Structure 1
Amino acid sequence: MKIVSIKEKPVKISSSIRNAYIDFSKMDVSVVAIETDVQRDGQPVIGYGFNSNGRYAQSGIIHKRMIPRIMQAQPADYLTADGTNLDPFKLWKIMMTNEKPGGHGERSVAVGTIDMAIWDAVAKIEEKPLYRLLSERYGDGHPDDRVFVYAAGGYYQPGKDDTLLQQELKGYLDQGYSVVKMKIGNGLDEDRRRIEAALKVVPSGKHLAVDANGRLDLKTALEYAKMLAPYDLFWFEEAGDPLDFKLQHELSQHYAGTMATGENLFSMQDARNLIRYGGMRPQTDYLQFDCALSYGLVEYMKTLKMLRENGWSSRRCIPHGGHQMSLNIAAGLKLGGNESYPGIFEPFGGFADNLPIEDGYVRLPQVPGIGFETKAALMKVLREVAQS
């Protein structure tokens, strides 16, 4: 077998929403389609991937470096020993050929996007849902049959007052979510008012998470910590710059509640530095590394191994991104859950069309691959890229 073609196209996810740091009015993502010469049901197996929101399309890196390296390789260089399937680990090494360590930046997003498509193809060739394949190969063989998911929203938006925020969050609860998240970081007084408005419609503080998106300096982060403490929130997310481990460590000395961070760390080494120097607590805090932004599942498994060696359970990982790839990883490798963006960043966010959220959990579709085929609007976009 062999890879026949790899196609990439940037697709817009434009939106009027913003967090405390960026707006999404000109945001796009890369969509990748990897076609193989393997046939299933009379059609070639095609693996699909895309990067998570918050990082732009990586067309330049993908077309200039990643695709040529794979297409110039011999099939024996990237197939399993028996030649019947793609080997994601070999393909990862091919993509990273002649790349210096460190300086991860946008390169990690390009690799992560292609890596997602590779795993989708691998599971389709095996004719198994990806989460089951991961559990059998790298887990205990008994995957979770449902995954905790929380609804990420509460963005700043023109004309959005406290009443509209309340309606949005209540809408998520009505959809079956048990935990909702809102953005903070624009200003202490404004956010105190918004949080108190939100707490009027959620059952308790433990059902509300807040996310500053790295906006705060140390002084302001500590002021927010003091303000947030009485609410007993689900978590306080990414207070300061993601690489300011000293700030995160200092915050942990003053905020006894649960914290979360890591979505903007893009390698196992960065994750390890967070564990070493960031003051994150393995019994109470959560890590949000997103495989689609951080060199893919191959690198994510290195990160999980490092976490185990440092006393962290995989259950303390709840990835950023709200996509089906992380949902499969969560079920197959027993993470603590997954983010969800109901009605936001469509069609990339969300899960199978016919599987509802129930009591804060969602089940996975029983189809080969990641499950993209169970999202009609998403598949329309993915097929357009494959056929371009």
Structure 2
Amino acid sequence: MRVTEVDAIPLAHELDEGRSFGHARGLTSRRSCVLVRAETADGTVGWGEALATPRTTAAAVDEVLAPMVEGIDPYEVETLVERTHAEAYNVAGGPVLQSALSAVDVALWDIIGKSVDEPVYRLLGGGDADHVVPYASTMYITEWEEDPADPIRDAVDEGFTAAKLKIGRGVEDDRRRVETARNLLGDDAHLMVDYNGNYRLKQAIRSVEALEPYDLTWIEEPVPPEDYTGLRKLTDRVDVPVATGESHFGRFDYGRLIRDHAVDIVQPDLGRAGGLSESRFLAKLATTENVAVYPHVWNGGVGVAAALQFAASLPSYPHNDNLPDPFLFEFDRSENPLREELITEPFDPSGGTLDVPQRPGLGVEVDEAAVERYRVD
């Protein structure tokens, strides 16, 4: 079985005028991703997704990775990180090529799973996982100045028992937003906050201290992702777990976070961090320092499927059945047809659980007509 074709497909959806949304560091008016379609000589097709600038990342796939991958056995997938660092060493660690590699890697794992009639998580060492607990990634900063209570009410109505909010515009605004969410979710709900790196260290400390009464499960990107010293100092200072990872790329970035105990939780994005192979490596590395792993998920339908397969493969170490710890899985609640329309059976996070696909490979079928609708090359 050899890979005969690797195609990169840039996709984008423009939001309606006046509907930009985002976080404390800026808003976006579009959703985008890159799909990779890989095919073998026997006609098996695998899909992967990169969460990155669409045309630039597609070009990286076409110019750097496709020539490297076409002709290989898909089972060689776990050599791609090393080959990329050897053959494209001057750009290998950057966000564009790392994101492109992520999509290619996931597509090859999809092929392998289909070839042996198993879901990918089983090939990665997962047990009998069949579902996760989704948390609503919501309460975005919006161009239309949405009442922050509205998206939390929507999440509660959909059956979510956990949520993550966007904050980072000032301590008092942080407190109001978190208080609103806690009152609507109830005392028992898991509640997380995401600063998107908008504070300096002492600002972050003041905010975390002000939010202490609201029993946060974790705080995410309290300072910029490149501020490793600030992350470590904050982690040492506060009691609430500190998380980061969506803006880090591959083993060298994550190795530093884990080795230095800069955070309590790392959050690889399957569309950026190097795909399933590299994220699997990072997860094993994290266990050596007792650092938790929860994937960052802000992807289209293929990327969500990959993240679910990865999540289902993760060990519970050091916890066992005597200390139940529900696996919290991010589910974005903003507008994104690339999540809802690109796969034939969209994911349903309502009711407090989210099923892990059990069909071979990633467990989803891509709607190629929808892919063409959102194609931008």
Contact between 1:245 and 1:274, CA under 8 Å: does it hold in 2?
Answer: yes
Deviation, 1:108, is: 0.8
Which residue does the alignment assign to 1:366?
A: 358
Q: Give 1:24's match in structure 2, choosing from 19, 25, 28.
A: 28
Alignment of 1:278-289 (within 5 A): 278-280=261-263, 285-289=264-268
Letter in 2 for 1:158: E
Query: What CA distance in whole angstroms lies between the structure 1 residues aligned with 2:369 and 2:254?
Result: 35
Deviation, 1:33, is: 0.6
Alignment of 1:197-276 (within 5 A): 197-204=180-187, 206-276=189-259
Q: The residue matched to 1:201 in structure 2 has which SS?
A: helix
Query: What CA distance in whole angstroms lies between the structure 2 residues aligned with 1:14 and 1:226?
Result: 38
Contact between 1:155 and 1:183, CA under 8 Å: does it hold in 2?
Answer: yes
Which residue does the alignment assign to 2:370?
A: 381
- Give the length in aligned residue pairs: 353
Contact between 2:345 and 2:364, CA under 8 Å: does it hold in 1?
Answer: no
Contact between 2:120 and 2:362, CA under 8 Å: does it hold in 1?
Answer: yes
Q: The residue matched to 2:53 in structure 1 has which SS?
A: coil
Q: Give 2:306's match in structure 1, choosing from 325, 349, 359.
A: 325
| RMSD over aligned Cα atoms | 2.7
CA 1:311–1:382 in 2, change beyond 3 Å: closer, same or farther?
same
Contact between 1:205 and 1:232, CA under 8 Å: does it hold in 2?
Answer: no
- Alignment of 1:48 onto 2:31: no
Deviation, 1:224, is: 1.0
Query: What CA distance in whole angstroms lies between the structure 2 residues aligned with 1:6 and 1:385?
Result: 19
What runs of 5+ residues in structure 2 fail to find an aligned partner?
A: 299-303, 317-326
CA 1:225–1:177 in 2, change beyond 3 Å: closer, same or farther?
same
Contact between 1:49 and 1:117, CA under 8 Å: does it hold in 2?
Answer: yes
Deviation, 1:274, is: 1.1
Deviation, 1:187, is: 2.3
Query: What CA distance in whole angstroms lies between the structure 1 residues aligned with 2:109 and 2:206?
Result: 44
Query: What CA distance in whole angstroms lies between the structure 1 residues aligned with 2:253 and 2:278?
Result: 11
- Alignment of 1:121 onto 2:111: yes
TM-score, normalised via structure 1 length: 0.82
Query: What CA distance in whole angstroms lies between the structure 1 residues aligned with 2:85 and 2:260?
Result: 28
CA 1:175–1:379 in 2, change beyond 3 Å: closer, same or farther?
farther
Which residue does the alignment assign to 2:9?
A: 9
1:195-218 alpha-carbon deviations (Å, 9 max, x no partner) = 222222111275321100111111
Query: What CA distance in whole angstroms lies between the structure 1 residues aligned with 2:106 and 2:68?
Result: 17
- Alignment of 1:339 onto 2:342: no
Which residue does the alignment assign to 2:98?
A: 108
Query: What CA distance in whole angstroms lies between the structure 2 residues aligned with 1:356 and 1:26?
Result: 23
CA 1:70–1:354 in 2, change beyond 3 Å: closer, same or farther?
closer
Aligned-residue identity in percent: 27
Query: What CA distance in whole angstroms lies between the structure 1 residues aligned with 2:103 and 2:83?
Result: 15
CA 1:4–1:253 in 2, change beyond 3 Å: closer, same or farther?
closer
Deviation, 1:186, is: 1.9
Contact between 1:325 and 1:370, CA under 8 Å: does it hold in 2?
Answer: yes
Q: Give 1:304's match in structure 2, choosing from 259, 283, 291.
A: 283
Contact between 2:37 and 2:107, CA under 8 Å: does it hold in 1?
Answer: yes
Contact between 2:219 and 2:241, CA under 8 Å: does it hold in 1?
Answer: yes
Query: What CA distance in whole angstroms lies between the structure 1 residues aligned with 2:290 and 2:168?
Result: 32
More off after superposition, 59-68 vs 204-213:
204-213
TM-score, normalised via structure 2 length: 0.84
Which residue does the alignment assign to 1:41?
A: none
Query: What CA distance in whole angstroms lies between the structure 1 residues aligned with 2:373 and 2:13?
Result: 16
CA 1:240–1:349 in 2, change beyond 3 Å: closer, same or farther?
farther
More off after superposition, 103-112 vs 202-211:
202-211
CA 1:210–1:13 in 2, change beyond 3 Å: closer, same or farther?
farther
- Alignment of 1:147 onto 2:147: no
Which residue does the alignment assign to 2:58?
A: 59
Contact between 2:161 and 2:189, CA under 8 Å: does it hold in 1?
Answer: no
Deviation, 1:109, is: 0.6
More off after superposition, 247-256 vs 208-217:
247-256
Query: What CA distance in whole angstroms lies between the structure 1 residues aligned with 2:78 and 2:183?
Result: 49
Contact between 1:169 and 1:201, CA under 8 Å: does it hold in 2?
Answer: yes
Q: The residue matched to 2:115 in structure 1 has which SS?
A: helix
Deviation, 1:19, is: 1.0
Letter in 1 for 2:11: V
CA 1:227–1:205 in 2, change beyond 3 Å: closer, same or farther?
farther
Query: What CA distance in whole angstroms lies between the structure 2 residues aligned with 1:18 and 1:263?
Result: 15
